[in-house]
Amino acid sequence: MSETSASPSPSADPRARHQDLVQQVEEHRARYYGDDAPTISDAAYDALERELRDLEEAHPELVEPDSPTQLVGSARGETGFASVQHRERMMSLDNAFSLEDVAAWLARIGREAGDHQIVCEPKIDGLSISLTYERGELVRGVTRGDGTTGEDVTDNVRTIAGLPFTLAGDHVPELVEIRGEVYLPVEAFERLNEALLAEGKAPYANPRNTAAGSLRQKDPSVTATRPLAVTTYALGALEWGDREPHPRIGSQSGIYEVLAEWGLPVSAFSTVLRGLEPIEEYLSDLEAKRHDLVHEIDGAVLKVDDRAVQAELGSTSRAPRWAIAYKFPPEEVHTILEDIRVDVGRTGRVTPYGVMTPVLVAGSTVTYATLHNRHEVKRKGVRIGDTVVLRKAGDVIPEIVGPVVAARTGDEREWEMPEACPSCGTPLVEQKEGDKDLRCPNAQACPAQIVDRIAFIGSRGALDVEVLGEKAAAALVESGVLVNEARLFDLTEEDLRRVPMLVYEVDEKLTKKQVGEGVVGRKAGDVAENGRKLIANLDAAKAQPLWRVLVSLSIRHVGPTASRALATAFESMDAIRAASEEELAAVEGVGPVIAESVLRWFEEDWHVEIVDTWAAAGVRMADERDETVERTLEGLTVVATGSLEGFTRDSVKEAIISRGGKAASSVSKNTDYVVVGANAGSKAAKAESLGVPMLTEEQFEALLAGGPAAVDG
């Protein structure tokens, strides 16, 4: 990984590598526990620490008492807080990075995976705290520090809402150290950052860092303004004096019941399981909902439930053997921003995007991420060569969060938005003054725009031509067979023979492959199967409805909704072309912006030529109204939601529109009916609250056939 130093070669001197690792781990640990922002990701840190541990296992002679592997957390001096010794050491946890690691741990602690009951709970990404209660009164709150000695942050801890000053219940010990995690709820973190941004100040890096900074404020009244929270999960020193020990503390799960009885916050997600399979299921469930919890979590903690077994298993100098932390794959990683390039889209919009050293994040390898526009690049403050934070939460599109400023070497360079189109060299312009986006105005001849427009015609939302994707579009343009989209529907096999991608090559390997695929007998230079398919599919696409043809023209602002509205209102391309701006704007769902865009589009001769050439090739330019379909929905607005058995999303709209109705996408008081399919969500709820009549699929069919009379009353 680029952010760690060179990986060790087997021949490297282990002592030198050890020294190097110790230094790196110490530096990053100091940042993690201190006020400085981290310069590497948690995952990269874990990798360094793991390597150090493995090295020390192989070379025990290298282990020193003050090696970071022997210490828990950070040992910091001078902090301004009083040092307090923990009565019982605060342990760390060993990590598992895979289900195999979890299985190996289960195998280590028992004869079989199902030997012991295991408490499974979220691993909260906060900072650990030890809370001392004497005779039920909160007397001290201490950070972990190096595990032996921490900082006295009692005054700050007392500001945490939900943390009782006095333990509830009548069975409380003489003295107890309660261990838990202090965190800043995600929502509070976001609010805090919004406020900072509004004041023009730099936002915090993450909730964990913010919580750490807040808890270590010199002035408790500042801490009090941060809505910190705490979850408790373990006991340290415990003295009952002359009282009987609480009967429920013989198990970890019992401890949680007791903590709750005392009025302390405990996790709502802990559960006791036995065996590998249920544990694996818990882990994947928890990962799936990791962003739905109030606090950030970075994994799960697995603990042997029976405390007698815990005692038997004991601890190493650093961590208990009876527990393990399972770490989720990281969603935020660091990588190098190698370059910023720009992409020219179908409408000429020029979009900068980052090219990064490929990196695995949340289960997939990411190399590119959009940077949206030149202002976003400025706002994020990223430079080429920067180490950047890359985020991909769940299935979300990867996002460059920002630079790791502390990791800069001075070799990074600022990026400048190009002044000319990288594809055709035309100076870029703002469409309107103050537009965020820059565009290449050379729509007619810019190769990048032409390729994108042609590929778009093939896309599912337009004419849906299989084989006509980005690659085929580029091949058609690069070979000179097409100069723009006008002659797309005139393509012949003869033409395709000039497109290398669509032709059999005289290539030994390829021929063998073709033999395998059963295409023996074809001569090199023949149009390949793909080419024939392309021509057949283009031919079939000519019969697509008018609205899809309109979408395919890439008129700005004219997407599927406006196209359907125009096609329904005018029924032919000629009528749309002949319509005045007022007539266009008067169509429901069109409006002045779209009307103007359509009008301007038809003013260009080369646009008109596209339409005329397509028409001459047989592309549908008018929707004959199917007289057999009765206009049963004239004047009605219908919304369909959820999945229906007999309709697709498109065909349901088609069915409504062809009968004279309006297919709307959101429910309002103007909606006449809402068709509710399986797994319908908020739209059904909204219909209910507005009192809009709801129809089943069967009732909808009745409505289509017979109009309102068939379903009302």
| Residue 181 CB, nearest approach to ligand IVH (Å) | 5
Q: Of 42 and 697, which CB lies nearer to ligand IVH in the complex structure?
A: 42
Q: Of 299 and 707, which CB lies nearer to ligand IVH in the complex structure?
A: 299
| Residue 85 CB, nearest approach to ligand IVH (Å) | 17
- 282 is an interface residue for ligand IVH by CB under 6 A: no
Pairing status of strand 673-676 against strand 637-641: parallel
Q: Of 188 and 302, which CB lies nearer to ligand IVH in the complex structure?
A: 302
Report the 10 Å Cβ neighbour count for 422. 15
| Residue 209 CB, nearest approach to ligand IVH (Å) | 15
Nearest position to ligand IVH, beta carbon: 128
Residues 183-222 as x/- pattern, contact with ligand IVH by CB under 6 A: ----------------------------------------
Distance, in Å, from the CA atom of 532 to the CA atom of 510, rounded to the nearest integer, reads: 18
| Residue 107 CB, nearest approach to ligand IVH (Å) | 21
Residues 613-652 as x/- pattern, contact with ligand IVH by CB under 6 A: ----------------------------------------
Residues 50-89 as x/- pattern, contact with ligand IVH by CB under 6 A: ----------------------------------------
Stretch that binds ligand IVH, among 100-108, 117-125, 169-177, 527-535 (CB under 6 A): 117-125
- Tell me which of 67, 70, 79, 92 binds ligand IVH, using CB under 6 A: 92
Phi-psi region of 364 (alpha: psi -120 to 50; beta: other; left: phi over 0): beta
Q: Of 125 and 623, which CB lies nearer to ligand IVH in the complex structure?
A: 125
**Dihedral of CA 120/121/127/133: which sign?**
negative
| Residue 299 CB, nearest approach to ligand IVH (Å) | 8
Q: Of 211 and 676, which CB lies nearer to ligand IVH in the complex structure?
A: 211
Distance, in Å, from the CA atom of 215 to the CA atom of 184, rounded to the nearest integer, reads: 10
Pairing status of strand 118-124 against strand 271-273: antiparallel
At 310, give phi and psi (nearest 5°): -55, -45
| Residue 91 CB, nearest approach to ligand IVH (Å) | 4
Contact indicator for 338, 396 with CB cutoff of 8 Å: no
Question: Cα torsion for 298, 302, 305, 308, to the nearest 10°?
Answer: -110
| Residue 320 CB, nearest approach to ligand IVH (Å) | 5
- 124 is an interface residue for ligand IVH by CB under 6 A: yes
Cross-strand bridge partners of residue 272: 119
In sequence order, what E strands does 345-452 have? 349-361, 364-370, 387-391, 399-403, 438-439
Phi-psi region of 399 (alpha: psi -120 to 50; beta: other; left: phi over 0): beta
Interface with ligand IVH in residues 286-315 (CB under 6 A): 301
Tokens in use for 669?
A: 């008081």
Size of the site for ligand IVH (CB under 6 A): 14
Distance, in Å, from the CA atom of 541 to the CA atom of 564, rounded to the nearest integer, reads: 17
At 620, give phi and psi (nearest 5°): -65, 130
3-class state of residue 438 by DSSP: strand
Cβ neighbors of 292 (< 8 A, separation 6 or more) are none
Cross-strand bridge partners of residue 498: none
123 is catalytic: yes
- 91 is an interface residue for ligand IVH by CB under 6 A: yes
- Tell me which of 323, 454, 488, 502 binds ligand IVH, using CB under 6 A: 323
Residues that bind ligand IVH (CB under 6 A): 91-93, 121, 123-124, 128, 181, 233-234, 301, 320, 323, 325
Residue numbers annotated as active site: 123
